[in-house]
Amino acid sequence: MKIAVLISGNGSNLQALLDSELRPHIVLVVSNREEAYGLKRAAEAGCPTQLHLRGDFETREAFDRQLAFLLREQQIDLIVLAGWMHILGEQYLSEAPGRTINLHPALPGRYPGLHAIQRAWEDKVEVAGCMVHEVILEVDAGQVLGVREVLLSDHRTLESLEAAVHRAEHELLVDVVSELVGGGLEQNELT
């Protein structure tokens, strides 16, 4: 099972994957930002990296198509979006190999888009959390593969809540990807 992880920034979730038993499966890290700290993490773990910059392409479609092409070329089975800050369009979804999953710091159906944890905090919801889901055209939606809840009552500051949600994300992502790898991706879409 070959896994590619797509990142744009810090890469703490990538680090959680690299530190887990999944390491041998992670054959590629793609970043759409040159300054992404996750690139350093990948290099330190001896994992091949590739920059895929929007500025190198005239259109979003061309960017998406080439991304799908490079993943297909490397025979990737599972693509993990871990802090990947680019909305993938139809071109990508129809041409990418295997399955693409995304990690989002909110519960299913809540707070799609940016600043999800802060929005949950400001709304004073009882329960925040994170989820991993299949990627579809709709942002931060799609079949849910795993969820972790975090109680707001356990936190007195937004910073504390954020740290807890991130810890939950690290665990959840490793668990969900391990399940998919263990099941050989099971149901569908092995190409």
Residues identified as active-site: 104
Judged by CB under 6 A, which stretch of 40-48, 67-75, 87-95, 99-107 contacts ligand GRF? 99-107
Q: Out of 2, 12, 69, 163, point to the residue binding ligand GRF (CB under 6 A).
A: 12
Q: Out of 5, 11, 26, 99, point to the residue binding ligand GRF (CB under 6 A).
A: 11
3-state DSSP of 38-102 = HHHHHHHCCCCEEECCHHHCCCHHHHHHHHHHHHHHCCCCEEEECCCCCCCCHHHHHHCCCEEEE
- Distance CA(138)–CA(128), nearest Å, equals 21
**Minimum CB separation from ligand GRF for residue 4, in Å?**
15
Judged by CB under 6 A, which stretch of 2-10, 58-66, 89-97, 178-186 contacts ligand GRF? 2-10
Contact status: 142 vs ligand GRF (CB under 6 A): no
Q: From the CB of residue 25, how many other CB atoms can be counted at a distance below 10 Å? A: 18
For ligand GRF, which is the closer residue by CB, 76 or 101? 101
Residues within window 34-63 making contact with ligand GRF, judged by CB under 6 A: 38
For ligand GRF, which is the closer residue by CB, 12 or 20? 12
Contact status: 31 vs ligand GRF (CB under 6 A): no
Closest to 142 (Cα-Cα) out of 113, 101, 184 = 101
**Minimum CB separation from ligand GRF for residue 190, in Å?**
26
Q: Out of 3, 6, 13, 129, point to the residue binding ligand GRF (CB under 6 A).
A: 13
Q: What angle do CA 5, 130, 41 make, to 5 degrees?
A: 30
| Neighbouring C-alpha atoms within 13 Å toward the C-beta of 67 | 33
Task: List C-alpha distances in Å: 172 to 6, 63, 105, 123, 130.
Answer: 17, 29, 11, 24, 8
Contact status: 82 vs ligand GRF (CB under 6 A): yes
Q: From the CB of residue 84, how many other CB atoms can be counted at a distance below 10 Å? A: 24
Judged by CB under 6 A, which stretch of 11-19, 50-58, 63-71, 178-186 contacts ligand GRF? 11-19
**Residues lying near ligand GRF in the complex (CB under 6 A):** 7, 9-14, 38, 82-83, 103-105, 166, 169
